[in-house]
Protein backbone atom coordinates (compact mmCIF):
# COMPACT_ATOMS: atom_id res chain seq x y z
CA UNK A 1 0.00 0.00 0.00
CA UNK A 2 1.23 3.51 -0.85
CA UNK A 3 1.17 5.43 2.42
CA UNK A 4 0.98 8.80 0.62
CA UNK A 5 -2.40 9.15 -1.06
CA UNK A 6 -4.97 11.80 -1.90
CA UNK A 7 -8.05 11.77 0.29
CA UNK A 8 -10.79 14.35 -0.34
CA UNK A 9 -8.47 16.14 -2.75
CA UNK A 10 -5.58 16.55 -0.29
CA UNK A 11 -2.37 14.53 -0.11
CA UNK A 12 -2.11 12.58 3.13
CA UNK A 13 0.68 10.76 4.89
CA UNK A 14 -1.23 7.72 6.16
CA UNK A 15 -4.31 9.34 7.75
CA UNK A 16 -2.71 12.71 8.36
CA UNK A 17 -3.48 15.65 6.10
CA UNK A 18 -0.27 17.27 4.87
CA UNK A 19 -1.85 20.75 4.87
CA UNK A 20 -2.36 20.30 8.62
CA UNK A 21 1.25 19.13 8.98
CA UNK A 22 2.50 22.26 7.20
CA UNK A 23 0.36 24.45 9.45
CA UNK A 24 1.38 22.71 12.63
CA UNK A 25 5.11 22.30 12.05
CA UNK A 26 5.89 24.88 9.37
CA UNK A 27 7.65 24.38 6.04
CA UNK A 28 9.90 23.05 4.75
CA UNK A 29 9.76 19.78 6.65
CA UNK A 30 10.41 16.12 5.98
CA UNK A 31 7.47 13.83 6.70
CA UNK A 32 7.98 10.08 7.11
CA UNK A 33 5.39 7.34 7.23
CA UNK A 34 6.24 4.84 9.93
CA UNK A 35 3.91 2.30 8.35
CA UNK A 36 5.74 2.60 5.02
CA UNK A 37 9.06 1.87 6.72
CA UNK A 38 7.60 -1.10 8.55
CA UNK A 39 6.05 -2.42 5.33
CA UNK A 40 9.34 -2.29 3.46
CA UNK A 41 11.14 -3.96 6.33
CA UNK A 42 8.64 -6.83 6.43
CA UNK A 43 8.79 -7.19 2.64
CA UNK A 44 12.56 -7.68 2.85
CA UNK A 45 12.47 -9.85 5.92
CA UNK A 46 9.71 -12.09 4.57
CA UNK A 47 11.51 -12.50 1.25
CA UNK A 48 14.38 -14.11 3.17
CA UNK A 49 12.21 -16.09 5.57
CA UNK A 50 13.50 -19.47 4.44
CA UNK A 51 17.15 -18.61 4.84
CA UNK A 52 19.26 -17.67 7.86
CA UNK A 53 19.73 -13.96 7.34
CA UNK A 54 20.59 -10.61 8.86
CA UNK A 55 19.28 -7.39 7.35
CA UNK A 56 21.57 -4.51 8.22
CA UNK A 57 19.79 -1.27 7.31
CA UNK A 58 22.30 1.17 5.75
CA UNK A 59 22.21 4.00 8.27
CA UNK A 60 23.56 6.58 5.81
CA UNK A 61 20.28 6.58 3.88
CA UNK A 62 18.45 8.16 6.80
CA UNK A 63 20.05 8.20 10.22
CA UNK A 64 17.24 9.80 12.21
CA UNK A 65 17.14 8.28 15.70
CA UNK A 66 13.40 7.71 15.43
CA UNK A 67 13.79 5.75 12.19
CA UNK A 68 16.70 3.71 13.52
CA UNK A 69 14.59 2.99 16.58
CA UNK A 70 11.64 1.76 14.50
CA UNK A 71 13.96 -0.60 12.66
CA UNK A 72 15.75 -1.72 15.83
CA UNK A 73 12.38 -2.66 17.32
CA UNK A 74 11.67 -4.77 14.24
CA UNK A 75 14.92 -6.64 14.84
CA UNK A 76 17.08 -4.95 12.22
CA UNK A 77 20.83 -4.96 12.16
CA UNK A 78 22.68 -1.90 10.86
CA UNK A 79 25.35 -1.14 8.28
CA UNK A 80 27.47 1.76 9.50
CA UNK A 81 30.31 3.74 7.95
CA UNK A 82 31.51 5.92 10.82
CA UNK A 83 31.91 6.16 14.56
CA UNK A 84 29.07 8.67 14.50
CA UNK A 85 26.71 6.17 12.91
CA UNK A 86 27.79 3.56 15.45
CA UNK A 87 26.84 5.83 18.36
CA UNK A 88 23.56 6.77 16.67
CA UNK A 89 22.59 3.12 16.35
CA UNK A 90 23.39 2.43 20.00
CA UNK A 91 21.57 5.61 21.05
CA UNK A 92 18.52 4.46 19.09
CA UNK A 93 18.47 1.06 20.81
CA UNK A 94 20.19 -1.00 18.09
CA UNK A 95 22.19 -4.08 19.04
CA UNK A 96 25.95 -3.95 18.62
CA UNK A 97 26.14 -7.61 17.65
CA UNK A 98 24.02 -6.93 14.58
CA UNK A 99 26.23 -4.16 13.19
CA UNK A 100 28.45 -4.43 10.12
CA UNK A 101 31.04 -1.70 9.70
CA UNK A 102 31.76 -0.69 6.07
CA UNK A 103 33.90 2.07 4.61
CA UNK A 104 37.42 2.58 3.27
CA UNK A 105 38.77 4.90 5.96
CA UNK A 106 38.08 3.45 9.42
CA UNK A 107 40.14 5.32 12.02
CA UNK A 108 41.94 3.82 15.02
CA UNK A 109 39.37 5.30 17.40
CA UNK A 110 36.44 3.97 15.34
CA UNK A 111 37.90 0.48 15.16
CA UNK A 112 38.66 0.40 18.89
CA UNK A 113 35.14 1.50 19.82
CA UNK A 114 33.56 -1.02 17.44
CA UNK A 115 35.66 -3.80 18.99
CA UNK A 116 34.77 -2.69 22.50
CA UNK A 117 31.03 -2.77 21.87
CA UNK A 118 31.33 -6.07 19.97
CA UNK A 119 30.01 -5.55 16.45
CA UNK A 120 29.01 -8.42 14.18
CA UNK A 121 31.67 -7.83 11.53
CA UNK A 122 34.14 -5.40 9.99
CA UNK A 123 33.83 -5.22 6.20
CA UNK A 124 37.51 -4.74 5.46
CA UNK A 125 38.41 -2.72 2.39
CA UNK A 126 42.23 -3.00 2.23
CA UNK A 127 45.23 -4.94 3.53
CA UNK A 128 46.36 -1.91 5.50
CA UNK A 129 43.01 -1.79 7.28
CA UNK A 130 43.22 -5.51 8.05
CA UNK A 131 46.61 -5.04 9.70
CA UNK A 132 45.33 -2.06 11.67
CA UNK A 133 42.31 -3.98 12.96
CA UNK A 134 44.54 -6.92 13.95
CA UNK A 135 46.85 -4.63 15.87
CA UNK A 136 44.11 -2.80 17.77
CA UNK A 137 42.32 -6.06 18.60
CA UNK A 138 45.63 -7.36 19.98
CA UNK A 139 46.10 -4.25 22.12
CA UNK A 140 42.71 -4.60 23.79
CA UNK A 141 42.72 -8.39 24.01
CA UNK A 142 39.94 -9.13 21.52
CA UNK A 143 39.53 -11.01 18.27
CA UNK A 144 38.03 -9.04 15.41
CA UNK A 145 35.36 -10.67 13.21
CA UNK A 146 36.06 -9.69 9.62
CA UNK A 147 34.91 -10.19 6.08
CA UNK A 148 36.74 -8.81 3.08
CA UNK A 149 34.76 -6.45 0.91
CA UNK A 150 35.64 -7.65 -2.54
CA UNK A 151 35.39 -5.62 -5.70
CA UNK A 152 33.98 -7.97 -8.35
CA UNK A 153 34.49 -5.56 -11.28
CA UNK A 154 30.84 -5.50 -12.28
CA UNK A 155 29.17 -2.52 -13.92
CA UNK A 156 26.12 -1.69 -11.83
CA UNK A 157 24.72 0.45 -14.67
CA UNK A 158 23.79 3.23 -12.32
CA UNK A 159 24.93 6.85 -11.92
CA UNK A 160 28.75 6.91 -11.94
CA UNK A 161 28.91 8.70 -8.57
CA UNK A 162 27.09 5.83 -6.86
CA UNK A 163 28.65 2.93 -8.70
CA UNK A 164 31.18 1.18 -6.47
CA UNK A 165 31.99 -2.28 -7.83
CA UNK A 166 34.25 -1.54 -10.76
CA UNK A 167 38.02 -1.82 -10.87
CA UNK A 168 38.50 1.95 -11.06
CA UNK A 169 36.49 2.60 -7.86
CA UNK A 170 38.15 3.09 -4.46
CA UNK A 171 36.07 0.39 -2.82
CA UNK A 172 36.93 -3.13 -1.78
CA UNK A 173 39.72 -5.51 -2.62
CA UNK A 174 40.11 -6.73 -6.20
CA UNK A 175 38.36 -10.10 -6.24
CA UNK A 176 41.27 -11.77 -7.99
CA UNK A 177 43.60 -10.75 -5.15
CA UNK A 178 41.14 -11.70 -2.40
CA UNK A 179 42.40 -15.32 -1.93
CA UNK A 180 45.86 -13.96 -1.09
CA UNK A 181 44.49 -11.42 1.37
CA UNK A 182 42.31 -14.10 3.02
CA UNK A 183 45.42 -16.28 3.36
CA UNK A 184 47.20 -13.40 5.05
CA UNK A 185 44.21 -12.74 7.33
CA UNK A 186 44.21 -16.38 8.37
CA UNK A 187 47.73 -15.92 9.74
CA UNK A 188 46.85 -12.90 11.86
CA UNK A 189 46.47 -13.76 15.55
CA UNK A 190 43.67 -11.36 16.44
CA UNK A 191 41.47 -11.80 13.37
CA UNK A 192 38.49 -14.15 12.96
CA UNK A 193 37.52 -14.61 9.33
CA UNK A 194 33.73 -14.85 9.34
CA UNK A 195 32.52 -13.80 5.90
CA UNK A 196 32.80 -12.06 2.58
CA UNK A 197 31.14 -8.84 1.48
CA UNK A 198 30.39 -7.05 -1.75
CA UNK A 199 28.42 -3.91 -2.59
CA UNK A 200 28.46 -2.81 -6.21
CA UNK A 201 26.45 0.39 -6.19
CA UNK A 202 23.18 2.09 -5.40
CA UNK A 203 19.86 2.56 -7.20
CA UNK A 204 20.32 -0.55 -9.35
CA UNK A 205 17.26 -1.13 -11.47
CA UNK A 206 18.23 -4.41 -13.11
CA UNK A 207 19.00 -7.70 -11.48
CA UNK A 208 21.82 -8.90 -13.74
CA UNK A 209 24.68 -6.98 -12.08
CA UNK A 210 23.62 -8.36 -8.68
CA UNK A 211 23.63 -11.89 -10.05
CA UNK A 212 26.97 -11.45 -11.84
CA UNK A 213 28.57 -10.12 -8.68
CA UNK A 214 27.02 -12.88 -6.55
CA UNK A 215 28.30 -15.58 -8.92
CA UNK A 216 31.80 -14.19 -8.72
CA UNK A 217 31.59 -14.03 -4.94
CA UNK A 218 30.38 -17.66 -4.79
CA UNK A 219 33.31 -18.75 -6.96
CA UNK A 220 35.62 -17.04 -4.51
CA UNK A 221 33.87 -18.70 -1.57
CA UNK A 222 34.31 -22.14 -3.20
CA UNK A 223 37.98 -21.40 -3.86
CA UNK A 224 38.50 -20.34 -0.26
CA UNK A 225 37.02 -23.63 0.92
CA UNK A 226 39.74 -25.46 -1.05
CA UNK A 227 42.22 -23.18 0.72
CA UNK A 228 40.83 -24.36 4.07
CA UNK A 229 38.98 -21.13 4.81
CA UNK A 230 35.30 -21.68 5.55
CA UNK A 231 33.03 -18.68 5.86
CA UNK A 232 29.89 -18.30 7.94
CA UNK A 233 28.18 -15.46 6.13
CA UNK A 234 27.93 -13.80 2.75
CA UNK A 235 27.07 -10.10 2.66
CA UNK A 236 25.54 -8.95 -0.63
CA UNK A 237 25.50 -5.27 0.37
CA UNK A 238 22.66 -2.95 -0.56
CA UNK A 239 21.82 -1.16 -3.76
CA UNK A 240 18.37 -2.33 -4.77
CA UNK A 241 16.76 0.57 -6.62
CA UNK A 242 13.36 2.13 -6.09
CA UNK A 243 10.85 3.74 -8.39
CA UNK A 244 11.26 7.52 -8.57
CA UNK A 245 9.73 7.94 -12.01
CA UNK A 246 9.44 5.30 -14.73
CA UNK A 247 12.12 2.94 -13.41
CA UNK A 248 11.11 -0.67 -13.02
CA UNK A 249 13.46 -2.06 -10.38
CA UNK A 250 13.21 -5.75 -9.50
CA UNK A 251 10.83 -6.48 -6.65
CA UNK A 252 12.37 -7.21 -3.28
CA UNK A 253 11.05 -10.76 -3.57
CA UNK A 254 12.62 -11.35 -7.02
CA UNK A 255 15.90 -9.85 -5.89
CA UNK A 256 16.06 -11.96 -2.73
CA UNK A 257 15.03 -15.06 -4.67
CA UNK A 258 17.68 -14.51 -7.35
CA UNK A 259 20.48 -14.18 -4.83
CA UNK A 260 19.30 -17.18 -2.83
CA UNK A 261 19.39 -19.25 -6.02
CA UNK A 262 22.99 -18.26 -6.66
CA UNK A 263 23.93 -19.37 -3.15
CA UNK A 264 21.90 -22.57 -3.41
CA UNK A 265 21.53 -24.72 -0.33
CA UNK A 266 24.88 -23.84 1.15
CA UNK A 267 24.91 -23.25 4.90
CA UNK A 268 25.66 -19.55 4.85
CA UNK A 269 23.94 -16.77 6.68
CA UNK A 270 22.97 -14.13 4.12
CA UNK A 271 23.57 -10.51 5.08
CA UNK A 272 22.05 -7.53 3.25
CA UNK A 273 22.63 -3.80 3.62
CA UNK A 274 19.56 -2.13 2.11
CA UNK A 275 19.13 1.60 2.64
CA UNK A 276 17.12 3.31 -0.08
CA UNK A 277 14.60 0.52 -0.60
CA UNK A 278 13.62 0.66 3.08
CA UNK A 279 13.10 4.43 3.42
CA UNK A 280 13.08 6.31 0.08
CA UNK A 281 9.38 6.06 -0.62
CA UNK A 282 8.50 6.44 3.05
CA UNK A 283 9.30 10.16 3.04
CA UNK A 284 8.35 13.43 1.37
CA UNK A 285 9.73 16.93 1.63
CA UNK A 286 6.88 19.38 2.23
CA UNK A 287 7.58 22.85 0.88
CA UNK A 288 5.70 26.05 0.11
CA UNK A 289 5.72 28.08 -3.11
CA UNK A 290 6.98 31.54 -2.18
CA UNK A 291 6.79 33.18 -5.59
CA UNK A 292 5.95 32.44 -9.18
CA UNK A 293 8.34 34.14 -11.55
CA UNK A 294 8.14 34.39 -15.28
CA UNK A 295 11.10 35.25 -17.46
CA UNK A 296 11.05 35.50 -21.27
CA UNK A 297 12.23 31.88 -21.35
CA UNK A 298 10.74 30.10 -18.41
CA UNK A 299 8.30 29.80 -15.58
CA UNK A 300 9.88 29.34 -12.19
CA UNK A 301 8.22 28.28 -8.96
CA UNK A 302 10.46 29.53 -6.17
CA UNK A 303 9.94 27.38 -3.10
CA UNK A 304 11.13 27.61 0.50
CA UNK A 305 13.17 24.37 0.26
CA UNK A 306 16.48 24.30 -1.56
CA UNK A 307 19.44 22.20 -2.63
CA UNK A 308 20.80 22.33 0.92
CA UNK A 309 17.66 20.49 2.09
CA UNK A 310 17.59 17.93 -0.74
CA UNK A 311 20.69 17.79 -2.88
CA UNK A 312 19.96 14.75 -5.06
CA UNK A 313 18.55 16.69 -8.06
CA UNK A 314 21.52 19.10 -8.06
CA UNK A 315 24.18 16.47 -7.41
CA UNK A 316 23.04 13.54 -9.55
CA UNK A 317 20.45 15.17 -11.79
CA UNK A 318 18.06 12.91 -9.91
CA UNK A 319 14.38 13.09 -10.79
CA UNK A 320 11.90 13.18 -7.93
CA UNK A 321 8.17 13.57 -8.33
CA UNK A 322 6.53 16.82 -7.25
CA UNK A 323 2.92 16.62 -6.09
CA UNK A 324 0.71 19.58 -5.21
CA UNK A 325 -0.62 18.84 -1.72
CA UNK A 326 -4.00 20.45 -2.40
CA UNK A 327 -4.24 20.52 -6.21
CA UNK A 328 -6.30 23.25 -7.84
CA UNK A 329 -9.32 21.97 -9.68
CA UNK A 330 -9.02 24.76 -12.26
CA UNK A 331 -6.29 26.97 -13.63
CA UNK A 332 -3.65 26.98 -16.31
CA UNK A 333 -1.11 24.23 -16.63
CA UNK A 334 2.38 25.65 -16.98
CA UNK A 335 5.77 24.06 -17.29
CA UNK A 336 7.75 25.04 -14.22
CA UNK A 337 11.26 24.69 -12.94
CA UNK A 338 10.95 24.24 -9.19
CA UNK A 339 13.84 26.15 -7.67
CA UNK A 340 15.08 27.18 -4.24
CA UNK A 341 16.31 30.51 -2.89
CA UNK A 342 20.02 29.56 -2.92
CA UNK A 343 22.39 31.59 -5.03
CA UNK A 344 23.37 28.85 -7.47
CA UNK A 345 21.92 27.86 -10.80
CA UNK A 346 22.18 24.25 -9.60
CA UNK A 347 19.63 25.01 -6.91
CA UNK A 348 16.67 23.20 -8.39
CA UNK A 349 14.49 20.45 -7.01
CA UNK A 350 12.77 19.65 -10.29
CA UNK A 351 12.74 20.82 -13.88
CA UNK A 352 10.05 21.09 -16.53
CA UNK A 353 7.06 19.97 -14.49
CA UNK A 354 3.54 20.57 -15.73
CA UNK A 355 1.59 22.00 -12.83
CA UNK A 356 -1.20 24.41 -11.97
CA UNK A 357 0.33 26.65 -9.32
CA UNK A 358 -0.26 29.75 -7.26
CA UNK A 359 2.00 31.45 -4.74
CA UNK A 360 1.39 29.95 -1.30
CA UNK A 361 0.70 26.45 -2.61
CA UNK A 362 2.17 23.47 -0.79
CA UNK A 363 4.16 20.86 -2.69
CA UNK A 364 5.43 17.44 -1.70
CA UNK A 365 8.75 16.36 -3.18
CA UNK A 366 8.28 12.62 -3.24
CA UNK A 367 10.64 9.71 -2.55
CA UNK A 368 12.67 11.90 -0.23
CA UNK A 369 13.07 9.47 2.67
CA UNK A 370 16.50 8.25 1.57
CA UNK A 371 19.55 10.49 1.13
CA UNK A 372 17.36 13.53 1.76
CA UNK A 373 17.73 14.98 5.22
CA UNK A 374 20.86 12.84 5.72
CA UNK A 375 22.67 14.81 3.00
CA UNK A 376 21.33 18.21 3.98
CA UNK A 377 23.56 21.08 4.99
CA UNK A 378 23.47 24.63 6.31
CA UNK A 379 24.66 26.23 3.06
CA UNK A 380 23.54 29.88 2.81
CA UNK A 381 23.06 29.77 6.62
CA UNK A 382 19.82 27.92 6.27
CA UNK A 383 18.71 26.01 9.37
CA UNK A 384 18.13 22.34 8.70
CA UNK A 385 14.43 21.59 8.52
CA UNK A 386 12.14 19.77 10.93
CA UNK A 387 11.45 16.05 10.58
CA UNK A 388 8.02 14.63 11.35
CA UNK A 389 6.92 11.02 11.67
CA UNK A 390 3.37 9.94 11.00
CA UNK A 391 1.71 6.73 12.19
CA UNK A 392 -1.98 6.20 11.44
CA UNK A 393 -3.73 9.40 12.54
CA UNK A 394 -0.87 10.67 14.67
CA UNK A 395 2.16 12.78 13.96
CA UNK A 396 5.24 13.55 16.06
CA UNK A 397 8.18 15.81 15.59
CA UNK A 398 11.30 13.65 15.53
CA UNK A 399 13.78 16.45 14.90
CA UNK A 400 13.22 20.09 15.70
CA UNK A 401 13.89 22.67 13.05
CA UNK A 402 17.30 24.16 13.77
CA UNK A 403 17.37 27.63 15.22
CA UNK A 404 19.71 30.26 13.85
CA UNK A 405 21.72 30.34 17.06
CA UNK A 406 22.40 26.60 16.61
CA UNK A 407 24.17 27.41 13.39
CA UNK A 408 26.90 29.47 14.99
CA UNK A 409 26.91 27.82 18.40
CA UNK A 410 30.35 26.28 17.81
CA UNK A 411 31.90 29.37 16.28
CA UNK A 412 33.78 32.25 17.82
CA UNK A 413 35.14 35.54 16.59
CA UNK A 414 38.76 36.42 17.17
CA UNK A 415 38.72 39.80 18.89
CA UNK A 416 42.20 41.08 18.15
User: Is residue 162 part of the contact set for ligand LLP (CB under 6 A)?
Assistant: yes
Q: Is 390 exposed, middle or buried (0-12, 13-18, 19+ CB in 10 A)?
A: buried
* Closer residue to ligand LLP (CB): 22 or 154: 154
CA distance 403 to 412: 17
CA distance 325 to 10: 6
- DSSP structure string for 293-321: EE-SS-EEEEES--TTT--HHHHH-----
* Closer residue to ligand LLP (CB): 4 or 371: 371
Q: Please, what is the minimum distance in Å from the beta carbon of residue 156 to ligand LLP? A: 10
3-state secondary structure of 285: strand
3-state secondary structure of 290: strand
User: Is residue 235 part of the contact set for ligand LLP (CB under 6 A)?
Assistant: no
Q: Is the peptide bond before 28 cis (omega within 30 degrees of 0)?
A: yes
CA distance 138 to 117: 15
80-139: contacts with ligand LLP (CB under 6 A): 102
270-309: contacts with ligand LLP (CB under 6 A): 273-277
Among 202, 281, 320, 395, binds ligand LLP (CB under 6 A): 202
* Closer residue to ligand LLP (CB): 239 or 324: 239
User: Is residue 44 part of the contact set for ligand LLP (CB under 6 A)?
Assistant: no
365-404: contacts with ligand LLP (CB under 6 A): 371
29 counts as catalytic: no
Q: Is 274 annotated as a binding residue?
A: yes
Report the sign of the C-alpha dihedral through residues 134, 138, 142, 143, in that order.
positive
Residues in the chain: 416
User: Is residue 239 part of the contact set for ligand LLP (CB under 6 A)?
Assistant: yes
CA distance 61 to 80: 10
Instruction: Please identify which of the residues 29, 56, 121, 343 carries the catalytic annotation.
Output: 343
Q: Please, what is the minimum distance in Å from the beta carbon of residue 305 to ligand LLP? A: 16
User: Is residue 209 part of the contact set for ligand LLP (CB under 6 A)?
Assistant: no
List, by residue number, the catalytic residues: 343
Binding-site annotation: residue ranges for substrate: 276, 312, 316, 344, 371
Rule CB under 6 A: which residues touch ligand LLP?
Answer: 58, 61, 79, 102, 162, 199, 202-203, 237-240, 273-277, 312, 316, 371
Amino acid sequence: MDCFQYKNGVLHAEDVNLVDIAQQYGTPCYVYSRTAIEQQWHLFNNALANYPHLICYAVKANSSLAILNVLAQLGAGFDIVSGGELERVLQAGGQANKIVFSGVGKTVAEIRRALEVGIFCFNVESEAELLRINEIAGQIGKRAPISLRVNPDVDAQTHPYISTGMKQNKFGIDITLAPQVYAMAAQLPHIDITGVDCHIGSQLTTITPFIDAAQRVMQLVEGLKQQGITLKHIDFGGGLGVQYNAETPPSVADYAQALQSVVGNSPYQLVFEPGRVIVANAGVLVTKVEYLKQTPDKHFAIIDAAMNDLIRPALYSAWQAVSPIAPHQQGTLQTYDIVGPICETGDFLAKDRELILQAGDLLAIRSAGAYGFAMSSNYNTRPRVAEIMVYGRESRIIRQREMLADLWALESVWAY
